[in-house]
Amino acid sequence: MIKITKTIEWEMGHRIPNHIGKCKNPHGHHYKLELTLSGPIGSNKGSSSEGMIIDFGDISKLLSAAIYDTLDHSFMICEDDKIMSAFFKKQENFKAVIVPFIPTVENISQWCYNQIFPRIPENVVIENLRVYETPNSWADFTPRQVTYADTKKTNQHK
């Protein structure tokens, strides 16, 4: 089996409101996402996609629309975070992404998967999605392996 991987990077702030350590304070990271895909290699002679699972340019466009455009230079806030919610409501032209979870790298990786999965072509499988919070700290979201028909019925495979 052949697997391919594409990466994107973005800058984003967050805070972990219930944390007992320094991450309870607003701060930011240089995030990196690695998306690993598998699927059949295109075999249509003369086709633009001959020899590819999916064009890297198409993956770049998908990741930009699903992740980068939303998250780059934004601040991710848990909807229950009263301090940050109040602050961002008072500010104009600040880019906030309000989410129903604490924005840990674990939860961010699952959120990214949920943004990407519906945009992936039918014959392509997400093998793994890795989100780096720092060069030394990351979370992997590895979907359970199910058939394409199963995944489209539930629209996700958590």
pLDDT given at position 112: 98
Give per-residue pLDDT as tens, 112-142: 999 999 999 999 999 999 999 999 999 999 9
Among 58, 12, 11, which residue's Cα sits nearest to residue 35? 58
Inform me whether the pLDDT recorded for 153 exceeds 60.
no
Among 36, 111, 34, 100, which residue's Cα sits nearest to residue 71? 111
Measured over the CA atoms of residue 103, residue 116, residue 153 and residue 139, the dihedral's sign is: negative
State the chain's maximal CA–CA distance in angstroms: 59
Inform me whether the pLDDT recorded for 154 exceeds 50.
no
Inform me whether the pLDDT recorded for 146 exceeds 80.
no
DSSP string, 7-56: EEEEEEEE--TT-SSGGGS-EEEEEEEEEEEE-PPP--TT-TTTT-SS-H
- Mean of all residue pLDDT scores within the chain: 90
Confidence category of residue 157, pLDDT binned at 50, 70, 90: very low
Inform me whether the pLDDT recorded for 94 exceeds 70.
yes
Confidence (pTM): 0.87
The domains found in the chain, sorted by start residue, are: 3-12+19-71+105-154 (3.30.479.10)
* pLDDT over 90 percentage in the chain: 77
